[in-house]
Structure 1
Amino acid sequence: MNFSPTSDPQPLVSVVLPAWNAARTLGAALQSLLDQCPSSLGPVPDFEVVVVDDGSTDDTRTLLEHWRSTHLLGNRLRPVYAPHRGIVPALNSGLAAARGALVARMDADDTAHPQRLACQTAHLLDNEHIDLSATCVTFGGDRELAHGFAHFVDWQNSLLTHEQISRARFRDTPVCHPSVMFRRGCVNQWGAYRDGDFAEDWEIWLRWLHHGAVMDKQPEQMLVWNDAPTRATRADRRYAREACDRLRAFWLARWLEQNNPFHPLVWIVGGGRVARQRLAPLWQHGPVPAAYIDIDPHKIGNRVGGVAVMGRSALPPPGQCCILNALTAHGAAEEASQWLTQTGHQPGQFLIV
């Protein structure tokens, strides 16, 4: 692995951008960084772009050398050339080469809003208690053909405050990875990306949040998150449902151990097959299902794996149980959360998982 040395003053922000066979899209991503401009919140920060070429076999390296030789990004562009080892080693190589006190993420097939770096830098500099600043994103795809992913983007965009992000983190990854900017100290304190049988971005957010990281999201859409056919979430087994369920179970069990006053018992809203499969790995870590709560009369009264399926009236009163809302059908979890709130259960007493 090698990267380009520089004698320039240390930048405030390092944009870490892994690229593998990305010649078709990388130019647009770099152009969006070249086009950064001030916002009403502050100026464009001094920044560098650390592009990690993860052993590409297309024209990615040629494109990077063209950008360097023509000085399109001046001395901001710092390529890192590494053998192909995958996304996590590429990300960590980028972190190792990055010199900024703030680290912004971006992918080679996405584009940044012109004021993104200015806005996020100001957000972190003006709010010392915030460790990570994310933004809402624009879905860059066909909503009809990829309605599931589009709905996921809409869900992420609905989570703005730290409280919303923290409470939703066991449902799915609550922030868009290429939209984030975080303090270098987060890596020093809580660790870099980990390689394993799990989604590396969800794992790092779960780990950082578990250790007390404060995350906030700006409501403006500051990144176009393109839905490429080769996106890892479509093909990589680390993003498969089973891998996500195992990752959720590990960190959810640790959260419940520290925060559930009724540990190990939890009540599950959702008695269907999908909800049960979703939480099956959790029981291997210590928590115990007290009962499944459902509204389907054909399920109520049954026992699944020795656990009773009950109607909503059987749920203990507010303050007397810990609840996991595991419904997954579109709108079902939201309806159940509304019902729980209306019946007096406070948001801190139930989680959407």
Structure 2
Amino acid sequence: MPAPVVTVLLPARNAETTVTRAVESLLQGTFQAIRVLVVEDGSTDGTHGVLQRLVTQDRRVALLDGGGRGLVAALQLALSHADSPYVARMDADDEALPRRLEASVDALEADPSLAGVGTGIELFREDQPVSPSLQSYAAWLNSLTTPEALHRARFIESPLCHPSVCLRRDALLAMGGWEDGDFPEDYALWLKLLHAGYGLRSLPEVLLRWRDSAQRLTRTDARYEKRRFLWLKAHYLARGPLADGRPCTLWGAGPSGLTLSRFLQDEGIPVERYIEVHPRKVGTRIQGIPVVSAEALGPPGRGLLLVCVGVRWAREELRAELTARGWEEGVDFLCAA
């Protein structure tokens, strides 16, 4: 068999009803120089038998035993067996559209500054409609089609759909691959790559059908709770945009802003003030930090403003207002919720 150009890392646990379609959608794609490394990770249903059949049907499929150690261990195991220049992700209940890997490799070969690309995604589930909030998140992901847009948005939410991504293996190895810890492993990897100076982007074409379900790790695992995302944001803000010692102002003294503030202070970054529009908060102190009105913000250049406004339409209005007033996103302010 010719050496693969892309190795797909596909962990599977209790996926007997979906994994055949996931693997076949890759094998039937327009890019054929692939290897699919499926990690059977402690299933208690018939997944193992399904995977054995797939291995006998196509020599591009290989089966690894993950021992039930979890997603990150499964990914790291598969990565250690990959020797292709590109490594792609896939989940056992998603479906790749035919051009997914071809378009991803074309984009990476056309732009050496990119460490990885995601693709446009289509959400689906079979038992009920996809929630409006998840649809909104998918639309936001699909909008990050340039490295610049994704870099500006990196502290809002995780800016790539993990199972849609194709990465340069060398860049992934340089970062140590996925890191296991009390935080979302995919968001940690994107922030680590961006902090190291690599580019990331999403392709505008919808090339992955991303399944939503009640069993998704983002709903069932504490590592994907909102506060763990905020901890990662504080960790990389302290090492990147706030590493120069600039004063830090937070716009928004709601739950997200207050939690981010605490994590920043744990990282040795003091928050100078909160900006608030709620009249009952203005003039008070929260966590010992003064709360001032929007009129007291002043001109840009004094420090870094972190916009901790979680409602998307409100954040976009504020972003537009700041830009119109001469504030440069990425220099004077960053959206962080």
Q: How does 1:217-236 map to 2 (within 5 A)?
A: 217-236=202-221
Matched, 1:148 2:133: yes
1:16 matched residue in structure 2: 9
| Structure 2 Cα separation of the partners of residues 331 and 240 of structure 1 | 23
| Structure 2 Cα separation of the partners of residues 103 and 84 of structure 1 | 22
Letter in 1 for 2:135: A
Contact 1:130 1:215 survives alignment (8 Å): yes
Say if 1:145 and 1:45 are closer, same or farther in 2 by CA, change over 3 A: closer
Contact 1:264 1:288 survives alignment (8 Å): no
Equivalent of 1:118, from 102, 111, 129? 102
Equivalent of 1:249, from 220, 227, 234? 234
1:341 matched residue in structure 2: 323
Q: SS of the residue aligned with 1:191?
A: coil
Contact 2:87 2:168 survives alignment (8 Å): yes
Q: Which consecutive residues of structure 2, in runs of 5 or more, have no partner in the other structure?
A: none
Q: SS of the residue aligned with 1:339?
A: helix
Matched, 1:75 2:68: no
Say if 1:31 and 1:45 are closer, same or farther in 2 by CA, change over 3 A: closer
1:186 Cα deviation after fit: 0.9
Q: Which consecutive residues of structure 1, in runs of 5 or more, have no partner in the other structure?
A: 1-7, 38-43
Letter in 1 for 2:86: L
TM-score by length of 1: 0.90
2:179 matched residue in structure 1: 194
1:308 Cα deviation after fit: 1.5
| Structure 2 Cα separation of the partners of residues 271 and 328 of structure 1 | 11
Q: SS of the residue aligned with 1:331?
A: helix
| Structure 1 Cα separation of the partners of residues 237 and 215 of structure 2 | 30
1:59 matched residue in structure 2: 46
Q: SS of the residue aligned with 1:33?
A: helix
- 1:64-85 CA distance string (max 9 Å, x none): 111223x2xx211111123110
Contact 1:264 1:286 survives alignment (8 Å): no
Could you tell which deviates more after superposition, 205-214 or 278-287?
Answer: 278-287
Q: SS of the residue aligned with 1:185?
A: helix
1:169 matched residue in structure 2: 154
Equivalent of 1:127, from 111, 114, 120? 111
Could you tell which deviates more after superposition, 244-253 or 116-125?
Answer: 244-253
Q: SS of the residue aligned with 1:279?
A: helix
Q: SS of the residue aligned with 1:328?
A: coil
1:144 Cα deviation after fit: 5.5
- 1:47-69 CA distance string (max 9 Å, x none): 11111111212111100111223
Q: SS of the residue aligned with 1:296?
A: coil
| Structure 1 Cα separation of the partners of residues 32 and 83 of structure 2 | 13
1:299 matched residue in structure 2: 281
Contact 2:246 2:304 survives alignment (8 Å): no
Say if 1:109 and 1:144 are closer, same or farther in 2 by CA, change over 3 A: closer
Say if 1:156 and 1:145 are closer, same or farther in 2 by CA, change over 3 A: closer
Contact 2:104 2:166 survives alignment (8 Å): yes
TM-score by length of 2: 0.94
Q: SS of the residue aligned with 1:156?
A: helix
2:333 matched residue in structure 1: 350
| Structure 1 Cα separation of the partners of residues 276 and 95 of structure 2 | 43
2:28 matched residue in structure 1: 35
Q: SS of the residue aligned with 2:17?
A: helix
Q: SS of the residue aligned with 2:18?
A: helix
Contact 1:245 1:279 survives alignment (8 Å): no
Say if 1:145 and 1:130 are closer, same or farther in 2 by CA, change over 3 A: closer
Q: SS of the residue aligned with 2:238?
A: helix
1:198 Cα deviation after fit: 0.5
Instruction: Tell me the number of residue pairs that the alignment of Structure 1 and Structure 2 aligns.
Output: 334
Contact 2:248 2:306 survives alignment (8 Å): yes
1:148 Cα deviation after fit: 2.1
| Structure 2 Cα separation of the partners of residues 322 and 310 of structure 1 | 16
